[in-house]
A and B are shown apart, each in its own frame.
Chain A
């Protein structure tokens, strides 16, 4: 019974895709509260589609998705917004918002019809700003920020939404190594210290192996899921990419270019 209680996301035999085409099938995994999980896979295998499907922004083909022990379809848009927050790859329409204004939008599922912020809302926004080291930038406009800073703002907004589950689509693209690690460290801290469950897609397999509690390797058929060490032992990373170009080195947990 305890095991079920601790699970926040439960995916069983899920198929994803569009009405005319199935992109990936046979996806099953579950996430425990307070864990950090990465979805990795080759370009076009459906990482973003899976994330959008799990977030309820796109209809699934078949299978079951349960968030907080409730079926995804049974939740209204507003109820869902109180269970999961999202960081997407698409550009935000307006970058003329200040950092604080953008983060405050994360409180929308909790505010009244006019969106008035309560003392509690303001406290949460303040917490997010502090966690993501944005104190000095709070009154800056978003178009003045660097990519790394703006990514932190987007994640801070998701944190301000205060949901048990946070889904992020490629939060580390376009960033240099320093900022990639910074984001991953912050995500790890958010998961472990504030008991948030964080699921993100990434191409940084080596960094994900070092930071995540579990990983989902999306290959469209088997979709192995487990702890990074276990996945390495079972040699799942070796077949992730067509092996004539790169080879996985199990001792260092990185890919090497074939000479």
Chain B
């Protein structure tokens, strides 16, 4: 069987798994809705209990789409970063991009009221939160790029990313100390991560961001493949380094920054999913990896969200904790099994 045939079958399986995960996700939650009721609702019949209609169409389905966008987008940004920084451990979290978003959110939620009186009645809505978080992540990304151009050692870059994380959490602690209980609570809830708090217009905006990031990634495919040989080789193959690096970084920033802004910092998806994907799609070809990683991330996120919803209980667990509980052991398992991360 030639590799391309093998990948076609794998894609079919993964797409099927996504459908199963999606159905599982929308049919579980604190209110139990029978599966046949959901099916008939899809066939256009009104549900027997009117609130079910609302729960299904206005909460669960937008939430499931958010989960798909968040999981797929974060994984894609992780893949881009791993190739761009030539490091299998790169990801939005490790490089401090998520910390940057946290800093932006913290400054808005807790810092604004401290700085001046006028800020206390400034726009404190979800859109401004998203903007602040995006700005924060782009700021960190820019600094990381500047450092990356100076420091050739990618290990040093990762350590710098971790340092950014520490600095951010220190600033956040200081802000938290002086903050009011209300604002602190808002920040903490944001940092738990959530895919269910988005309004319909926000889901559309997030869709736009992820689609834009995805399109830019697709335009980067050829350069990303060349980067696998190193920058000098890539240049010798006719790749314009500055331009293609810029496009890939903007795609990364849009995906990681935009998603963190709307759904909060969600750990480990960006780092772990590209490695998980290579267990089945054993290739470095980005034309195959980009769609595969997106599908994989979407499945993982839907499953994590299903767990977070814990069927038939009113509690919703913080999704950030779930992805860490799933993601961190995966990374450890991969390291132990292969003894080193092959990239």
Contact = CB atoms under 8 A, between A and B. Distances in A.
Given A93-B230, A94-B343, A115-B287, A81 B222 contact: no
B238 A80 contact: yes
B238 A90 contact: no
A91 B154 CA distance: 14
A143 interface: yes
Contact of B221 (A80, A91, A115, A139): A115
A96 B342 contact: yes
Contacts of B232: 52, 57, 86, 88, 90
B222 A111 contact: yes
| Interface residues on chain A, size class | 35 or more
Contacts of A113: 219, 222
B35 to A, nearest CB: 41
Interface in A55-104: 55, 57, 77-82, 84-86, 88, 90-98, 101-102
Contacts of A80: 238
Secondary structure type dominating chain A contacts: loop
Given A114-B221, A115-B221, A143-B342, A93 B228 contact: yes
Interface in B124-149: none
Contacts of A94: 86, 228-229, 284, 343
A97 B228 contact: yes
Contacts of A253: none
Nearest to A115: B222
Contact of B229 (A92, A139, A143): A92
Contacts of B278: 96
B235 interface: yes
A168 to B, nearest CB: 12
Contacts of A111: 222
Contact of A161 (B3, B227, B237, B342): B237
A108 interface: yes
A91 B230 contact: yes
A106 interface: yes
B226 to A, nearest CB: 6
Contacts of B237: 81, 105-106, 108-109, 161
Interface of A: 52, 55, 57, 77-82, 84-86, 88, 90-98, 101-102, 105-106, 108-109, 111, 113-115, 139, 143, 161
28 contacts: A52-B232, A55-B236, A77-B238, A78-B238, A78-B240, A80-B238, A81-B236, A82-B238, A84-B236, A85-B236, A86-B232, A88-B232, A90-B233, A92-B230, A93-B86, A93-B227, A94-B284, A96-B342, A101-B284, A101-B285, A105-B237, A106-B237, A109-B237, A111-B222, A113-B219, A114-B221, A139-B3, A161-B237
